[in-house]
Amino acid sequence: MIKNSLNRFVPSHPFLGVHPLPPQTFPILKNNTQTNKLRDNLTDVIKELHLKDGAVISFHHHLRNGDDVLNRVMKEIAQLGIKNITLVASSLFEVHHPLVNYLKDKTVTKIITAYVSGPVAQAISEGWCEEVCVIHSHGYRAHMIASKEIEIDVAFIGVPTSSPLGDGSGSEGPSACGSLGYAVVDAMYAKKVIVLSDHISEPQHIQIKKEWVDVVVKVDRIGDPQGIVSGTTTITKDPVGLNIARMTLQLMENTGLMKEGFSFQTGAGGISLALAKEVYDWCEHHHIQGSFISGGITGYQVDLLNAHHFKEIKDVQCFDLKAVESMHHNPNHHAISADDYAGPTNEHNVVNQLDIVVLGATEIDLDYNVNVTTGSDGMLMGGSGGHCDTAAGAKFTIIVSKLVSSRLSVVVDKVITVTTPHESIDALVTDRGIAIHPRHQALIQHLKENTKLPIKTMQELYDIAIQLTGKPEPIHFDDRIVALSMYRDGTLLDVIRKVASEDFK
Amino acid sequence: MNRSYLFIPASNAGMILSSMVLDADAIIFDLEDGVALNQKISARTLLQHSLDTLDFLDKTLYVRINNASSDFFLEDVICANHPKVHGVVLPKAEIKSLEACLKVLDPSKTILCLIESALGVIQLPQLCQMSSQVKGLLLGGEDLSADCGVERTQAGHEIDYARKSLVMHAKAFNLMAIDTPFVDIEDHQGLKEEVKYVASLGYDAKVAINPRQVHVIHEALKVDPLKLKEAKMIVEAFEKQRTQGVGVFNLNGKMIDEPVYLKAKHLIEKEERRTP
């Protein structure tokens, strides 16, 4: 084991600090001009692929917790008795619980993903996956696939509307999910691309191009619309969360970055949405127009676009129906690929153009390292997604959280797992105070002198929290490493160990 | 000067725990109507432990005790005598209940008289003068309308007399005037309009029954920056003219005299005291 720059021991490729990768481009070699791609029997299509033991297959997560594609395909593969599959899924949710059995019977022996929650995450933490899994960022996934660091044998891509030849759109059809940003790279670079669609029609807005696609399979449905996107996303009503949002806006104002043409990203959680609403009111009051909003998109970001508070949305993923409809109708609401969003070797990526990003955290430690990968019990329950990508790219990265949630402090002595390294984190806003990274001494001074924001050190916030919660008992882990926390340059930030059996029982 | 007084049921541990990080200038821990009868004693115990162990930062803390005629009254007052508590909100404040309270309340504690009965309204002159511990009057519109046997409406005609009478008494005896809660917690526009209305009558603050109302109250109580600027100009000009023996003069087409000066000065002072 080697010690990395965060003093974490990793088996190889130690993280050495945040250093940008040199720009690289990867040619798209695929140009399938066949005209007889449309099929109607998934079983036959999978049989004809002649998948071998050890194959590498990929899926996207735009159908989120309504996804039928992964489960349907894996069932077919399991029935064929193929083993040792490496599953490259952009994210895995509760709906993918049948995978647990495929881990147990060795159909799948390795998972490479940016986010995993629910029973699959638990099964990995309990050691059911034979090989060590990899939890990477959305940006690095795009790079890994494009650079062939990982070669995808077959990409199975659920597409809400596909032409018989494979031109596909995410924002049309009964299972519309909006952007197909994470699937684009799979489609461009996988050896074989199988599109599954429940709506065969010529799309108006093409996100997946026919020349990348080998087979189009008509299926009865690709997902449950109820789980794909929520009808509405709503702002928190929790007054503590609303206070955090208001304080965050004040902090953003004082960074000096909120001026004409500024860019901004926030998540889809309750506090983040409240912040989006605060930004809306702020833009209206100050008559300032931002350049773009990026990331996962909800109706609140759409409101910012429709009110002309921002010129453009760069959307890698839609979270609600309003976002899906906006993408379909508003020419300034653009779908972007994961590589254009956060590809670490893509010199024009969106995250590098961000002024401010506001993110959540499960834990943040006294050194400002952030964990969104494992829970306070040490179990896998998430992953970077775009966390470390946006934090690295944005000029100012703010973490927002209640200081104490479910009787646990968000500020800890040392995070269980490093997802985003301290170098990329600039501030933590909690209900009981704001900690600014000590490298921003001028800002700290400015905030203390010119605002009434409760500026504290991370140690002070920790002390307040521990006074309320007490110091939690340490978690016990086995020696066995079950997953790796990989940074967006391919180096290793941390390891995730199997939770000791008495703890997870 | 407190702009907002937020009720927190003393039976709700989660709300007590987060009360100090909410926007409200003052917190009223409620042992009375906000607590079910079978929770009264446990709520008081919870409040006592919370006061002993938690840091409430810069919040001004009050306890709404139970009615003087209830079995809980004495123990509630003892709880409110805690060093961290600024004072009590005395429900159904009338001469008799205030007398009872003054007998057992620590002399260092202040009293906000909750005027929520017809008798309480009629006894306002006496209530304002009975003790220097009385620092404020708080209108309880719901109970008052029930006591009068009339329907409580958003327009508030039924409490109009009491509302105006209360603020006049507060001004006459230099007490805080605190307006009744706005009960529709989702109607922020209605709350904003009501706060502006009562502020125009002279009210200093408003009670909030939901934390989300606090921000609306504070925003509505903000003085128009243009009016504040104008007031500062008037004060500066008047004080300059006064040194030259001039008591009445023209400023940008408006006649400025002593009452105009005093009003402007009062506005500036009020804003300064209100700024958290």
H or E segment at B247? none
Position A22, amino acid: P
Region of poorest pLDDT, from A56-60, A129-133, A223-227, B30-34: A223-227
- Are residue A292 and residue A374 in the same domain, yes or no? yes
Q: Give the residue numbers spanning the domain of A169.
A: 29-228
Task: Kindly provide the ipTM of the predicted complex, given to two decimals.
Answer: 0.77
Measured CA to CA, the distance from residue A155 to residue B241 in angstroms comes to 84
Domain boundary among A176, A208, A228: A228
pLDDT average, residue stretch B10-36: 95
Assess whether pLDDT exceeds 80 at residue A503: no
User: Which of A242, A249, A285, A410 would best serve as a mutation to test chain B binding (most B beta carbons within 10 A)?
Assistant: A242
Q: Which carries the bigger pLDDT value, residue B14 or residue A152? A: A152
B residues 197..256 contacting A (CB < 8 A): 210-212, 214-215
Q: Do A216 and A342 share a structural domain? A: no
| Gap between the Cα atoms of B214 and B207, Å rounded | 9
pLDDT of residue A233 exceeding 80, the answer is no
pLDDT given for residue A1 in this prediction: 93
Q: Are residues A162 and A260 in the same domain?
A: no
pLDDT at A224: 86
**Do A76 and A215 fall into the same domain?**
yes
B210 to A239: CB separation less than 8 angstroms, yes or no: yes
Inter-chain residue contact B22 with A243, CB threshold 8 Å: yes
In a domain, A1, yes or no: no
Asked if the structure places residue A299 within a domain, the reply is yes
Indicate the residue of A239, A467, A468 with minimum beta-carbon distance to B211. A239
Token pair 């194959």 is found at A55
Interchain contact A81–B (C-beta under 8 A): no
Look at A240 and B21 and tell me if their CB atoms are within 8 Å: yes
pLDDT digits (tens, 9 = 90+) for A457-499: 999 999 999 999 999 888 889 999 999 999 999 999 999 999 8
Span A141-153, mean pLDDT?
Answer: 97
* A197/A52 same-domain check: yes
Task: Give the residue from A197, A228, A259 where a domain finishes.
Answer: A228
Mean pLDDT of A131-139: 98
Residue type, B225: P
**Residue A234 located in a structural domain:** no
In a domain, A487, yes or no: no
Please state, in angstroms and rounded to a whole number, the distance separating the CA atoms of residues B163 and B160. Answer: 5
* Token pair of A223 as six digits: 């997902």
* pLDDT reported for residue A232: 63
| Claim to verify: residue A337 and residue A450 sit in the same structural domain | yes
The full set of domains in chain B, from first to last, is 4-221 (3.20.20.60), 225-274 (no CATH)
Same domain, A391 and A243: yes
Kindly state the tokens that stand for A102. 């495929």
CATH number, domain at A169? 3.40.1080.10
Q: Supply the DSSP string of A326-383, one letter for each residue.
A: HHHH-TTEEE--HHHHH-TT-TT-SGGG-SEEEE--SEEETT--EE-SB-TTS-B---
Residue A119 lies in a domain: yes
Same domain, A107 and A70: yes
Are A181 and A291 members of one domain? no
Q: Which residues contact B268 (CB under 8 A, 6 or more apart)?
A: B228, B231, B232, B235
Domain-embedded: residue A467: yes
* CA atoms of B231 and A204, how far apart (whole Å): 61
Asked if pLDDT for residue A298 goes beyond 80, the answer is: yes
- Position B224 scores a pLDDT of 84
Per-residue pLDDT band at A234 (split at 50, 70, 90): confident
Share of chain B above pLDDT 70, in %: 99
In a domain, A18, yes or no: no
User: Which strand (E) or helix (H) includes residue A70?
Assistant: helix A69-79
Phi then psi dihedrals of residue A130, to 5 deg: -65, -45
Q: In whole angstroms, what is the distance from residue A92 CA to residue A118 CA? A: 8
Do A81 and A108 belong together in one domain? yes
Say yes or no: A92 and A148 in one domain. Answer: yes
Tokens matching residue A289? 């127009």
Q: What is the mean pLDDT of residues A113-117?
A: 97
pLDDT at residue A421 in the model:
98
pLDDT at A236: 83
Residue A497 domain-assigned? Answer: no
Chain B nearest C-alpha distance from A467 (Å): 9
Structure tokens at A458: 């991370």
CA nearest A434: which of A454, A409, A451? A454
What contacts A29, CB < 8 A, 6 or more positions away?
none
In the listed set A176, A196, A228, which residue is the last one of a domain according to the structure?
A228
Same domain, A314 and A419: yes
- Which residues of chain B lie closer than 8 angstroms to A468, CB-CB? 17, 54
pLDDT of residue A505: 43
Query: Residue A32's pLDDT is what?
Result: 95
What are the pLDDT digits (tens) for A153-177?
999 999 999 999 999 999 999 999 9
Taking all residues of chain B, what is their mean pLDDT, rounded to a whole number?
Answer: 94
Tally of domains within chain A: 2
B105-137 tens-digit pLDDT: 999 999 999 999 999 999 999 999 999 999 999
- Determine contact: B56 vs chain A, CB below 8 A: no
User: Residues, chain B, total?
Assistant: 276
Among B21, B54, B276, the residue with its CB nearest the CB of A431 is: B21
Chain B residues close to A432, C-beta within 8 Å: 21
The predicted pLDDT at position B33 comes to 94
The pLDDT value given to residue B271: 78
- pLDDT (tens digit per residue) in B44-102: 999 999 999 999 988 999 999 999 999 999 999 999 999 999 999 999 999 999 999 99
Dihedral over alpha carbons A141, A145, A146, A148 (to 10 degrees): 140
List the structure tokens of A91.
């994210």
- CA atoms of A477 and B44, how far apart (whole Å): 43
Burial class (CB in 10 A: 0-12, 13-18, 19+), A407: exposed
DSSP code, position A314: E
Chain segment A59-113, per-residue pLDDT in tens = 999 999 999 999 999 999 999 999 999 999 999 999 999 999 999 999 999 999 9
DSSP letters spanning A235-267: ----HHHHHHHHHHHHHHHHTT--STT--EEE-
Give the pLDDT mean for B128-150. 97
Residue B266 pLDDT: 86
A435-438 long-range contacts (CB < 8 A, ≥24 apart) are A435/A411, A435/A460, A435/A461, A437/A368
CB contact under 8 Å between A432 and B215, yes or no, is no
Q: A114-128, A447-461, B219-233: which range is least confident on average? A: B219-233
| Tokens representing residue A151 in the block | 């070669």
